[in-house]
Amino acid sequence: MHKIVISLLVMFIISAGVNAQTEGPAPMKPEMTEIWDPEVTVVTPGATPVNAPSDAIVLFDGVNLENEWTDSKGGVPGWKVENGCATVVKGTGTIKTKRVFQDFQLHIEWRTPEEIVGESQGRGNSGVFLQERYEVQILDSYNNRTYRNGQAGSLYKQHAPLVNASKKPGEWQVYDIIYTAPRFNKDGTYFTPPVVTVLHNGVLIQNSVKLRGPTEFIGIPEYSIEEHGPGSLVLQDHSNPVSFRNIWIREL
């Protein structure tokens, strides 16, 4: 017993110290790389991945739009809420969330009209603006050629989607968006740019792409960067009756 203890101890002393120089780092133990605290916060997930988890803010439940949204002037949204979805009413303008957000995970479902009207940018056009300025394009891109950096799932005029995972017009589609807001330098330029990941109907179409600046219809995004804090989500009225449902967000 005595001898065993001593030899164990000697083995330990040798292994932990002296011969590190010749044989690489001294051996560690599994416990040395365990981290126990703080305990990770528990969240109850939805029944399926499209259902809101317990820590999400439900922005639209299919019934009430006024709770979380206003029109662009702060008034009641002019969009139609019916049959569990909200639909753009042409000319009533964009709608925006009352709350503002920084980094987040967003789930949003949308549908372009079953009846095909128009072409290219004129068919089923709407958009989700992150922090009021960075647009994830919504468009009927099912058999509807347009410029690649302006089709459904593009970060408008900055990044075309990796693939076109569009469903047919009239079918519900899903965007799951992971967004990291920009941080700024003292001079108002980006210290880190906005970063966006998008899954379209479960298919990865934007993989941590960095935005060059706010979305611009005309011109170069880099030239219009200005410091900003948290911002609303904005849904676009682009004159087409696009519908929305099951919108939830988790602040990160």
Residue 243 and residue 245: Cα distance in Å, rounded? 7
Least Å distance between CB 80 and its own copies? 26
Q: Which residue has the tokens 């995972």?
A: 165
Q: Is 43 in the site for its own copies (CB under 8 A)?
A: yes
160 binds its own copies (CB under 8 A): yes
Any contact of residue 89 with its own copies (CB under 8 A)?
no
Contact call for residue 100 and its own copies (CB under 8 A): no
Residue 26 binding its own copies, by CB under 8 A = yes
Task: Supply the minimum distance, in Å, between the C-beta of residue 133 and its own copies.
Answer: 16
The window from 86-94, 130-138, 156-164, 227-235 that contacts its own copies (CB under 8 A) reads 156-164
Piece in contact with its own copies (CB under 8 A), picked from 12-20, 62-70, 90-98, 128-136: 12-20
Binding letters toward its own copies, positions 191-230, x by CB under 8 A: xx--x-x-xxxxxx--xx---x---xxxxx-xx-------
Whole-angstrom Cα distance, residue 136 to residue 175?
9
Binding piece for its own copies, criterion CB under 8 A, among 78-86, 92-100, 126-134, 145-153: 145-153
Comparison of 9 and 63: residue with beta carbon closer to its own copies: 9
- Pairing assessment for the beta strands 234-235 and 95-97 based on DSSP bridges: antiparallel
Asked if 36 interacts with its own copies (CB under 8 A), we say: yes
The three-state secondary structure class of 14 is helix
- Residue from 105, 100, 96 nearest 55 by CA: 105
Choosing from 70, 72, 92, 149, the residue that interacts with its own copies (CB under 8 A) is 149
| Region of 45-53, 59-67, 91-99, 232-240 interacting with its own copies (CB under 8 A) | 45-53
Closest CA to 174 of 92, 105, 88: 105
Give the max Cα distance, the chain.
90
Give the Cβ contact number of residue 233 at 10 Å: 25
C-alpha distances in angstroms, 218 versus 48, 119, 222, 223, 224? Answer: 40, 20, 12, 11, 11
Chain position carrying tokens 């083995």: 11
For residue 92, give the 3-state DSSP assignment.
Answer: coil
Nearer to its own copies, 38 or 91 (CB): 38
Residue pair 251/236 in contact by the 8 Å Cβ criterion = no
| Using rule CB under 8 A, residue 58 touches its own copies | no
- DSSP tag of 155: B
Q: Is 84 or 219 the residue whose CB approaches its own copies more closely?
A: 219
Among 116, 167, 228, 230, binds its own copies (CB under 8 A): 167
